[in-house]
Amino acid sequence: MVALLLLLVTVSAAHAQTSDVLTYHNDLSRTGQNLSETILTTGNVNPREFGLLFMMNVDSTVDAQPLYVSALTIGGASHNVIYTATENDSVYAFDADTGALLWNVSVFLPGETAASTSPFGCGQIGPTIGVTSTPVIDRSSGPNGAIYLVATSEDALGNYYQRLHALDLTTGGELFGGPTTVQAEYPGTGAGSAGGYVIFAPEQYAERGGLLLLNGVIYTGWTSHCDEEPYTGWLMGYSESTLLQTSVLNLTPNGSEGSIWQSGAAMASDGTNIYFLMRTGPSIQL
């Protein structure tokens, strides 16, 4: 089934440049504020001047927040661009003023598809599991800026993969030798452990909360599928310039649960510390 992305904007004779939206809810505090808004007012947001301009077709459900980059040169022309990722592991770049498709890529590897379902038949994310969390954009990364995202895929043998991608904003091409496969272990004897280490099993987890870019590091937080055991709470960091893993923290290494679900919201930061909510438990053994 084709999903429709609806774009709601102010109707005006000339399209004015607006502020970029590069991360979930606009800033690290996740306020959703646009402090440089110059067009929308309480007077012109009404049924006569504010409404649906057009629809853009995509190939599956959109659970991630679309992001926006202004005045980006693609194909020799300047565009205001909306970036959208779907649960079919597809990423789209649309012209925000016309709805025209600028580029579209699939981020699963050859021989793979978006995951058909969780291993437990859990329908919490669907109809397939692809890109679920809100990506993050850095306009200064790479030659033309980069959009970072986590994608889930599955091969013909039923093996699951979680990968971090960095895509060029102007072409959708992979950057920095990516993608990077998410792998981790952490000292502990908790759920899913073996040989004194808790092991990250890609089929057990979903990246639901939006990505956080902080001081050159992309942070990911992981949740379970429908609370199906065994799972623990994982927080991982990756260099935005190399996609190499920089840090791993398991929040319940000697227990279970403690996932980072966030209801899709991204982890917040004051520029130094990271703030997030843990869900379902945890059951911790000290």
Distance, in Å, from the CA atom of 266 to the CA atom of 214, rounded to the nearest integer, reads 12
Query: Sign of the C-alpha dihedral, residues 11, 15, 19, 22?
Result: positive
Beta strands in 11-60 (DSSP E): 50-58
* Residue for token pair 């291993």: 119
Please choose, from the candidates 135, 47, 50, the residue with its C-alpha nearest in 3D space to the C-alpha of residue 92: 135
The pair of three-digit structure tokens given for residue 148, joined into one six-digit string: 């970072």
Please choose, from the candidates 164, 184, 180, 181, the residue with its C-alpha nearest in 3D space to the C-alpha of residue 231: 184
User: What pLDDT sits at residue 280?
Assistant: 61
Lowest mean pLDDT among 129-133, 185-189, 253-257, 258-262: 258-262
Please choose, from the candidates 1, 13, 26, the residue with its C-alpha nearest in 3D space to the C-alpha of residue 268: 26
Q: Is the pLDDT of residue 4 over 50?
A: no
DSSP 27: S
Distance, in Å, from the CA atom of 3 to the CA atom of 62, rounded to the nearest integer, reads 8
Distance, in Å, from the CA atom of 212 to the CA atom of 278, rounded to the nearest integer, reads 16
Domain 3-275 fold:
Lipocalin (2.40.128)
Task: Please name every residue paired with 109 in a beta bridge, in sequence order, or none if there are none.
Answer: none
**Cα–Cα distances in angstroms (integers) from residue 63 to residues 135, 217, 254, 264, 270, in the given order:** 11, 23, 32, 8, 26
Radius of gyration of the chain (CA): 19
The stretch 113-133 carries a mean pLDDT of 84
Give the tens place of pLDDT for each residue, 207-235: 999 999 999 999 999 998 888 889 999 99
Please choose, from the candidates 231, 234, 204, the residue with its C-alpha nearest in 3D space to the C-alpha of residue 221: 234
Show Cβ contacts of residue 253 under 8 Å, excluding neighbours closer than 6 positions: 186, 187, 188, 189, 190, 193, 198, 232
Please choose, from the candidates 279, 256, 162, 270, the residue with its C-alpha nearest in 3D space to the C-alpha of residue 212: 270
User: What pLDDT sits at residue 116?
Assistant: 84
User: What pLDDT sits at residue 124?
Assistant: 79
User: What pLDDT sits at residue 85?
Assistant: 98
- Please give the backbone phi and psi of residue 218, each rounded to the nearest 5 degrees, phi first: -90, 120
User: What pLDDT sits at residue 227?
Assistant: 81
**What is the share, in percent, of the chain residues with pLDDT greater than 70?**
90
Domain ranges of the chain: 3-275
**Cα–Cα distances in angstroms (integers) from residue 119 to residues 10, 13, 124, 226, in the given order:** 44, 51, 12, 11
Residue 158 has a CB neighbour count (10 Å cut-off) of 10
Cβ atoms of 279 and 272 within 8 Å: the answer is: no
